Structure 1
Amino acid sequence: MDASSGDPGLSAPRDEPQGGLTEAGTPLNKRDETCFPAEQRNLFGDLDMVAGPGGTLHRFDYRTNGEITRDARNAIKGKNTWILWGEGNDVFWNWVQQHGYGLTDFLVLVDSRNRGIRFAKFGLMNQPGMKAQTDRAKRLLGLYIDQADGERIKLQQPADDIDPDTRALAARPPFGKHCRAFDPWDEDQYAKVLAQLPDDGLDSNVYGYPSGIVGLRLMPNPDFFGKTEAAEKARDYWKTRIEDAPGDPYYSDISVNADPELVRPFRVSMSCGFCHIAPHPLNPPSDAEQPEWSNLSTTIGDQYWNPVSTFGNLKKPDSFLYHFLASQQPGTIDTSLVSTDHINNANTIIPVFDVPARLDRALLNPPEEQSSDNLLVPQIEDQPAGINPRHTPRVLLDGSDSVGIFGALSRVYLNIGAYSEQWKQVQNSIVGFTPQRPFAVATALKNSVFWRTADKYRIPYLAAFFTYVSSSDSQSITRPMHLADTPIGKPIVEAELADAAQGRRVFVENCAICHSSKQPAGFTLEFSRDWSSKDAADGSKLTLPMDFAEWEDFKKSDRYVEYVEQIATLAGHAIDPRQDPFLRDNYLSTDIRVPITLVATNSARAVGTNAMRGQVWDNFSSETYKSLPAVGEVPFFNPFSGAPTDAWGNNDAYAPPGGGPGYYRPASLISLWATAPFLHNNTLGEYTGDPSIAARLKAFDDGMDKILWNAKRATSTFHLPGDLRGRMALADGDRGFIYRTDRPTWIDFPARFIRPLLEGVIGPFWTSVLTTYLWWGLAIGAAVLAFLGRPRHAGFVFAVLAVLGAAALRASRIDTVYPLLWLAPAAAVLIAALLWFAASHKRWTGRVSFALFAVASLVASLQATAFIDGRKGDLRIGPFPTGTPVSLVMNMNPAAPVGDVLEAAFGLTRGLLRIRKDSLGDGPAWDAFRAEAAGPLMRVSKCPDFVLDRGHWFAETLPDEDKRKLKAFLKTL
């Protein structure tokens, strides 16, 4: 059955251009797809410099015989889309700013006073041609926004950007008269505000205004500037709270920037470039805070992007949620951060390399069956359109994107907020703890102008950008970036050429089975625990073991020896890896899903569940993916079991579900020298925070040594933040990097978000039950009994309360922390006895008892309502002790058996209460929490695998000399 069958998703709200209203009800002008034309001018020609003969860098050449063809123009439009286009997601990020539980605010993030430290602190790229504005007297509506650095802000169009039809410079797309988003409250005043914003020459109706950070653009907020009474109140409230307030409370006071009533003047649009544009490995800036466009690459992926300072910029280090984001390393992002799968499972912001070769490999891998929902997503891999099954590359590291590269790009925009009107309906954004529903492509096509614009134009343009091959050198913009093409790297590569040539042989014999897109004809991989009994003469089909423990035995098998002979023949010989036909147009990955039990790295990303049947990404994963078998038991290190570990540091195992989870596709090894730290979560190798070539090589050396020599992981003196080994005794037994909190922390939410938080999980009705209906019902019942009841009836109520109280104490075992709590049910028993026996003839005692019940119920209702409405202050759950593994708490599975979930909640509560009761410090606090909470939380963990830097031990048995030569070869890729 297709995911959309019986799904009410088609009734999801229309997006703003189609519906003509904001979520807050501000009227908008309706617009269609023609209102969002792609910028066609080659304004970012200096971005993505490519190496020519001898390593000389030059612009990518889009010309053929001196002209820019239609395909080349589409590629330029795709590049501009990648850098600029948010697909209307400013609607979603505005919701996050205003209603996102006080986690992040992008208007705070773009604070111009941070321009000098944006790369160092946030890993973000300053837009060239702009400068800081730090003068409080020059704030715009109370905001510090980067300003133009004279005419340098204007994006420059090269003289050869000629339209062959007009024989003139390609022009900016015309602005449609019916395409204005909304009518402002006052044309002159609105124009004055817009005149103060920086202008880089783009169509502000489509792309807004530059924020000063590449990938983030400012869009005027109709709920602030609109012609409505609510917008007028919003402007007045903003002026009082921000513009006229002493100091700058918007940037420093959580009660101000986490106020859900505070409507911002600007919404922030996010493009793909926000995460993917970074310093160019071949041409890094001398000062990362002041890059030129030529110092940046759109395809390398931002290895320096900092999750906690970007997506948690309103949180402080004493917040557990701060450490949740801090546990995700620079250059990674949890793609299920908003559509949470209840697993802390960040993955690398991947570089986009050699897409044409990747598509070639996809056509050789087995095609995948698609549902009718999947087929609503266009594809570029196969012809004719609509063919089923489809050939598809893998984009996400777990191989779940499996409807084609078109669908993968569409899902990326969904995941950064496109058509959030439906996205928010099918999940409880950010918080989770409710069942997901599929985001329905059919609904998006019906109700979203932005989605249709992407389908018709923007995604095809992106595909053209990544696949267009320049006629001048027959390579795409996603070509490899070779160390030998740098002044620093060239002599290093030349000095190691002999070793690299020998290392090439080691690579072909040991690594190419996963890390080469060029394979013997008919190459197919299967995985089985019965691999040794498979027919050795089955063509080019290889059956690999499911488990890493059997890898060395497999390599000794006749079938693998035969494969090595075949791949060696295909690879041939090359003295200089820089002139190697086998490496040219080689994606250096098979893109085939491999069981996590064989890869043996941290399994958190592999067992993500968002693409399973019925989950939020259902429409973007194939039927083949949804039918994948379970991988069986995954070994891992359990820090709480006390059991001895095996040779690889594991002492426990868990079994992920079938139906998709449990696999990784091999990473490409292209430009490996430039992309350390390694593994899917960037945890293996030293993080330098420095984009220089020397620093990249330092990170490569450290990371590659740890890949090739497992022992170097344990003996390394470099420890990432959150790795407490050697710093605290509680972590000394960890068999790898487990991110632990380095101080006492609280799960905290600002007071005004307590009601939305609870309503998001249990719904408005049950929230009202807990705050009003229950207590008023009890109060009314008690009031009636005050007139009709007898003392024995009151005694029965007290007896019931005693039983319920005793049951709650024993079930939760909170009495083991506070034994005196037994006085409450004991007192209730005593009162019941008195009412039954000593006062049974005194009717007034029953009336007084029920009257007190009624009053207590009303008081409880008032207190509960005050708490839920935030009148009792912020919500702070804790303290979680120093040394708490973040994933122990964040991986709690709400769909686990109810009894286990309750025991986990009770255990967590007991642990926190023990710490608070005895005011325990570091060490004893962790011991108390561990004793009460660790076991129950592990039983409900969706992924109990916490060691982040383990696995990929395939080179462990190679001779040291082979490892050294392999490393020299990998450096040349």
Structure 2
Amino acid sequence: MQNRGCLTVSSGLCVLIATVVFAVDPSEPLDEAMGGRTLKGTPVKQRLPECFPAEPQDVFYEMDQVVSSPGGTPQPLNFDADNNHMISDKERDAIRGRNTWLLWGGGNEEFWGWLQEEGFGLTDFLILLDSRNRDHRFRDDGLINQPGFVSNSDAGKRICGLFLDLPDGDKVKLVAPSSDLNESGQPVQRKQLPATDTRAFGSYSVVRNGVTQSCTACHGSGANQANRYLFDPGDKELFDRVLSQLADDGLDPTVYGYASGIFGLRLMPNPDFFGKTPAAKKAREYWQERVTNDGSFKYYTDYSIQADPKLVRPFRVSMSCGFCHVGPHPLKPPQDPEHPAWENLSSIIGNQYWSPQPAFANLLKTGKQKEEQTGRKGQRGNFLHHFLASQQPGTIDTSLVSTDWINNSNTINAVFDVPARLTRAMNNQPEKQSAANLLIPSVEDKDASVNPRHFPRVLVDGSDSCGVFTALIRVPLNIGTYFEEWRRTSNPIIGFAHRRPFSVAVCQANSVYWQTNERYRVPYEAAFFTYQNAAHMQSSTAPIKLQDAPGGAAIVAGERARATGGRAVFIQHCAICHSSKQPPDFQLTFSRDWEKTANFPQLAASPTPEPPPHYTLPMDFAFWDAFKKSAAYADYVARIRKIVGDPPPNDSDDPFIKDNFLSSEIRIPVSLVGTNSGRATATNALRGEVWDNFSSDDYKELPPVGPLRYFDPFSGATPDDYGDNASYSPLGGGRGYYRPASLISLWATAPYLHNNTLGLYNHDPSVAGRLAAYQDGIEKLLWKNLRARDSSRQATNSPSGSVRDGDLRPTPSAAAAHDPGFIYRLPEDTEIFMAPGFIRPLLAGVVGDFLTNALATYIWIVLFFVFLAAAIWGNQRHVTFLFIVLALIVAAVLATTGLASVLGKWLWLTPIALLVVALAFYFLGDPSRASLARIASRVVFLLATLATLVIGVAAHRFINGDMGPLRVGPIPRGTPVNLIMNMDPDNPNLLQGLAGLTRGIIRARDSKLTEDQKYDAFIAEAGAPMMRASKCPDFVLDRGHYFGEGLTDEEKRALIAFLKTL
């Protein structure tokens, strides 16, 4: 691990390169901290990177406990690496790194504040924080309650009308242990930063617009309560009262805000609410009227209040990585997951119980939930609710904000054995970087200018191909940092608009939060994730082994003989992808001409006794067994066995498994793995897309993987033995690959596959619960025929959690009767619903403000005066032209949309009738009918003027939300969610797909149809056209990775015993 100083020098060089090589457009926005204004224009204090010092105290010392040796007990991490009973400033960087990981939001409260106020009525974190739900947050949503709080249902203790968790006395305080001593042997204190920096990080002050700014106003020795305000409050008495009511856990509120009671979410007072502006005053008054003074608390239940874009919230929420990554510790599971202690939590395991839907779409309800809230029967569910619900617990679609229009959620990564992972990275082939890539420092190669670079692959598609530093600094952007730039690079959440790369040079020049991360926070995080204490045999990201869990040692001992056999199976069949320890110079390539090298002809041609271990593997799973019988694979197995050695004695570490990341980190074609291809075909890191600056040139030049097999549920074609009946061929340029998952702590991390869809999901973090999920998931991974055992209609006594929501195979639904695997299908009739206040922003985000204004106002004003002028000066020739144009427009619409097929063939009479009228006016041109022609023409144009006025007023009112919400539906029960969520805005078949969708909705509105008939009618119109417009037509989620099919049953059972020990 390089030290912080090296990273800082590298970072400074990067900024210099950015300044010289990349000219930043002066129109690019400044972030809130640099520009001194919120998105709504409220003035705030301008700040510097040094205004955000990382918390130095080891306040989370009870978390992340590790076992140092076999048979030991979990102990807190010891950051005294040199064992001198004090923690130097350099050693403390790892503590700062963990605190950053768990606390730091990087200014993303701007984005989350925008989302809960202007984000189309999807989510409201202040409702998610409803303290009346504290005692069942984990059960319902998988959220982790922060220790030190109690629930609050007392209306008299509300804060700004909100039910927020209350501190449980001093238990809310985050305090370091008595052993947390600094390099002088004294208890560490938060630094009072001087006016100038003395640690080679540059100045703590800067001159902007001729004014010198420094951080002493916030953190210096002269700081006081008044100048710790980050904006001028409009009602100081109210503001001070609210601040005094918020939970004080001992952290610096100017950096971290206030604890909310849910780990990973912290409350930041909203300048647009508390600020000293007329708009903020109006916001406080409106909130008082709609929320604070409402004794029936309708804010928590009334969607018209929740989805009111005029309702400015008093708090913005800052989200840290800990919100998704902190979960129950497998070695010290909580007795009650709703009330964990600090020692029961791990920040590296990844929370596989966390649910995306309540976190990011808690305002969107099912039909049943709507009926319960409103008391009205027959409510349709919200389609977008099911879009988020289709993403399984423990996963998140990382393109949720920068949507690529593929519903492709993937696991919230556990962060295991980073040192071993970096070692593998240095042995894999480096990749060529662009000039933009090289602006970002490198952990692996030290010098930022090194090209090509080595790197591990954190993202499952291997697209983050510039290094650990790049991965760590990109994540804050992806969860909202520098939202001012987000709004220019894409149309957040909705998409369907022009996209452009998120520029590293712009971030370095215009974002204080990026600068903070680049100078300080990312080096701190790197120090934490790579921390190793040799004296105490500890590693911050050490594997979590079953033998160290309560009752686990007896389980491992009882299966030791079988696990030894499983070790041999693993080496023979799995290590080529799932080991970071490989023969020197190990390389894999993939080809459809793999047989040309199957006999390993290099053996004969090589001048040395042993050629390098460079192997060419097949692109398709169909040839995997043949490859394993080849001389090339036999050569690999012989070499890996030399590295592996013999099984270790009982109760001792296996040298082969120790410091083994258990993944080769080499990209594998999805055509070989055979799993769902949604994530592999993601496009955000391709050339010219949002994450262009964060992926290597070599990634962008990856060849196409060729045809990908999948199941088309609408074609009627007979599936093959693996459930596939169709194929599609995604383009290259980065698409089509997965990196192998690490098998570290496999026993604790079920369900499986990159989307957590394979195996039992029991929502049970106990050791017994994790092992039950492991056993079910690993059996289904190795025995293909077991995957549907709990989902068939004939299944009885299926364990709770073995059938997922949206899997309709066990139900009488005809829609899922032939599904070969889990396709998330709508479990109810739904509609796409948009609250009135968001219709205009929705339209503007897609077509732009100019066209939105034109459609809402200007085009109708122009047409009004054109028709009015025509009524005064026009003649029958103008009328003839008008009706011919109308006839052509109507005919074109009917021809391209096919609406006449569902609304009635009689619609074709409309363009015919318009042509007849046009002909009639044409023949009125006879001089003998001149008077009649003038009168008729004026009447027509007066009617057109009146119609334009009526239509224009209606369009204006609709776009501005004055005619109620936008409803698109019904989308019937049984429809695959991804039929709609995977449609490609750039596909030439998009209009045909949307036309088919429209026809399907119209036919599904027939109230006489049964449920299955409604689905059939919808799919008959929408199925094939939407599949042709799909970016990824692969809907089966739990498919693929059939490598276990080549093993005997006994080999599989032995392998299960071995994998359980990792």
Distance in 2, Cα, partners of 1:580 & 1:831: 89
* Paired position in structure 2 for 1:178: 217
SS at match of 2:616: strand
TM-aligned CA deviation for residue 443 of structure 1:
0.5
CA distance, structure 2, for counterparts of residue 943 and residue 690 of structure 1: 33
Q: Give 1:931 deviation, angstroms.
A: 0.7
Cα distance in 2 for partners of 1:569, 1:231 equals 70
Aligned pairs for 1:500-899 within 5 A: 500-534=563-597, 535-537=600-602, 538-575=611-648, 576=650, 579-717=653-791, 718-727=802-811, 728-819=813-904, 820-837=906-923, 841-842=931-932, 843-897=934-988
Matched residue type, 2:242: V
1:960 is the counterpart of 2:1052: no
Question: Whole-Å Cα distance in 1 between the matches of residues 510 and 165 of structure 2?
Answer: 36
Q: CA 1:7 to 1:303, structure 2 compared with 1: closer, same or farther past 3 Å?
A: farther
The 5-angstrom pairing of residues 932-971 of structure 1 reads 932-971=1021-1060
CA distance in 2, matches of 1:473, 1:962: 37
Give the partner amino acid of 1:132: S
1:456 paired residue number: 519
CA–CA distance in structure 1, aligned partners of residues 655 and 1055 of structure 2:
18
Please name the residue that 1:438 is paired with. Answer: 501
| Larger displacement relative to structure 2 (856-865 or 380-389) | 380-389
Q: Is the 8 A contact 2:147 2:172 kept in 1?
A: yes
Q: Contact 2:821/2:1036 (CA < 8 Å) preserved in 1?
A: yes
Distance 1:811 1:560 in 2: 55
Aligned mate of 1:901, from 985, 990, 993? 990
Q: In structure 2, what residue type is equivalent to 1:497? A: R
State the alpha-carbon separation in 2 of the partners of residues 771 and 23 from structure 1: 25
Q: Which moved more, 1:927-936 or 1:794-803?
A: 794-803
1:292-325 Cα offsets, whole Å, 9 max, x none, are 0000000000101101111110001101100100
1:131 aligns with 2:222: no
Alignment pair present for 1:420 and 2:505? no
- Pairs within 5 Å for 1:478-489: 478-489=541-552
Matching residue's letter, 1:749: M
Alpha-carbon separation, structure 2, partners of 1:918 and 1:835: 43
Which amino acid in structure 2 is aligned with residue 146 of structure 1?
A: D
The correspondence of residues 137-156 of structure 1 with structure 2, limited to 5 A, is 137-156=156-175
Shift in Å, 1:855: 1.1
Aligned residues: 969
Relative distance call for 1:10 and 1:716 in structure 2 (3 A) is farther
Aligned to 1:216: 265
Does residue 238 of structure 2 align to residue 189 of structure 1? yes
Q: Which residue of 2 aligns with 1:386?
A: 449
The Cα offsets for residues 230-265 of structure 1, whole Å up to 9 and x where unpaired, read as 111111111111111241122111111111111111
User: 2 CA distance for matches of 1:445 and 1:641?
Assistant: 50
1:288 and 2:288 correspond? no
Q: Between 532-541 and 210-219, report the one with greater CA deviation.
A: 532-541
Residue pair 1:501, 1:577 contacting (<8 A) in 2 also: no
Give the distance between the partners of 1:638 and 1:189, measured in 2 at CA: 60
Residue range with higher mean Cα deviation, 806-815 or 49-58: 49-58
Partner of 2:967: helix, strand, or coil? strand
Give the whole-Å Cα distance in 2 for the aligned partners of 1:438 and 1:51.
Answer: 44
Deviations 1:467-503 (A, max 9, x none): 0101333331100011011222211111100000000
In 2, are the aligned partners of 1:3 and 1:618 still within 8 Å (CA)?
no
Contact 1:744-1:882 at 8 Å conserved across structures? yes
For residue 6 of structure 1, report the CA deviation from its aligned partner: 9.1
CA distance in 1, matches of 2:533, 2:153: 44
Match of 2:76 among 45, 59, 64: 59
Per the alignment, in what secondary structure is the counterpart of residue 169 of structure 1? coil
CA distance 1:41–1:268, change in 2 (3 Å) = same
Question: 1:368·1:391 contact (CA, 8 Å) conserved in 2?
Answer: yes
Question: Are the aligned partners of 1:40 and 1:170 in contact in 2 as well (CA < 8 Å)?
Answer: yes
Judged with a 3 Å threshold, the aligned counterparts in structure 2 of structure 1 residues 577 and 511 are, in CA distance, closer, same or farther, namely: farther
Tell me the CA shift for residue 773 of structure 1.
Answer: 2.6
Deviations 1:833-886 (A, max 9, x none): 443447764021111110110111111111111110111111110100100000
Q: Distance in 2 between matches of 1:250 and 1:8?
A: 44
Question: What SS does the aligned partner of 1:151 have?
Answer: helix
- Structure 1 match to 2:10: none
Gaps of 5+ in 1: none
Letter in 2 for 1:891: N
1:230 aligns with 2:314: no
CA–CA distance in structure 2, aligned partners of residues 38 and 941 of structure 1: 45
Output the CA distance in 1 between the equivalents of 2:242 and 2:483: 28
Residue 47 of structure 1 corresponds to 63
Looking at structure 2, the residues matched to 908 and 36 of structure 1 have their Cα atoms a distance apart, in angstroms, of: 50
3-state SS of 1:603 partner: coil
Contact preservation (8 Å) 2:440, 2:448 = no
Give the TM-score normalised by structure 2. 0.90
What is the deviation of 1:927?
0.5
Helix, strand or coil: the match of 1:613?
Answer: coil
1:303 counterpart = 2:388:
no
**SS at structure 2 position matched to 1:923:** helix
Indicate the SS of the match to 1:453: helix
Tell me the distance in 1 between the aligned counterparts of 2:883 and 2:486. 48
Distance 1:10 1:674, change over 3 A: farther
| SS at structure 2 position matched to 1:189 | helix
Counterpart residue identity of residue 949, structure 2: L
Q: For 2:642 and 2:25, how far apart are their aligned partners in 1? A: 54
Q: Which one of the candidate residues 1004, 1017, 1020 is aligned to 1:915?
A: 1004
Amino acid at match of 1:722: G
Structure 1 residues 797, 187: closer, same or farther in 2, change over 3 A? Answer: closer
Instruction: Name the structure 2 match of 1:159.
Output: 178
- Secondary structure at 1:425's aligned position in 2? helix
Instruction: Sort the Cα spacing of 1:108 and 1:612 in 2 relative to 1 into closer, same or farther, 3 A.
Output: same
Looking at structure 2, the residues matched to 565 and 10 of structure 1 have their Cα atoms a distance apart, in angstroms, of 60
Aligned residue for 1:274, secondary structure, equals: helix
The one-character-per-residue Cα deviations of 1:438-464 (angstroms, maximum 9, x if unpaired) are 101110110111110100000000000
Contact 2:331/2:550 (CA < 8 Å) preserved in 1? Answer: no
Q: Distance in 2 between matches of 1:840 and 1:747?
A: 53
In 2, distance between residues paired with 1:429 and 1:383? 34
> What are the within-5 Å matches in structure 2 for residues 11-160 of structure 1?
11-53=27-69, 54-63=71-80, 64-65=82-83, 66-160=85-179
Q: TM-score, normalised by structure 1?
A: 0.98
Quick one: distance in 1 between partners of 2:153 and 2:771? 36
Deviations 1:410-453 (A, max 9, x none): 11111000111111210000000012111011101101111101
Counterparts of 2:997 and 2:579 in 1: how far apart (Å)?
47
2:328 corresponds to which of 279, 288, 293: 279
What secondary structure sits across from 1:456 in the alignment? helix
Report the RMSD for the aligned CA atoms in angstroms: 1.6
Structure 2 runs not aligned, ≥5 long: 1-16, 194-214, 219-227, 367-380, 603-610, 792-801
Please report how far the alpha carbon of residue 714 of structure 1 lies from its aligned counterpart in structure 2 after TM superposition.
2.2
Residue 955 of structure 1: SS of its match in structure 2? helix
Separation (CA, whole Å) in 2 of partners of 1:753 and 1:541: 56
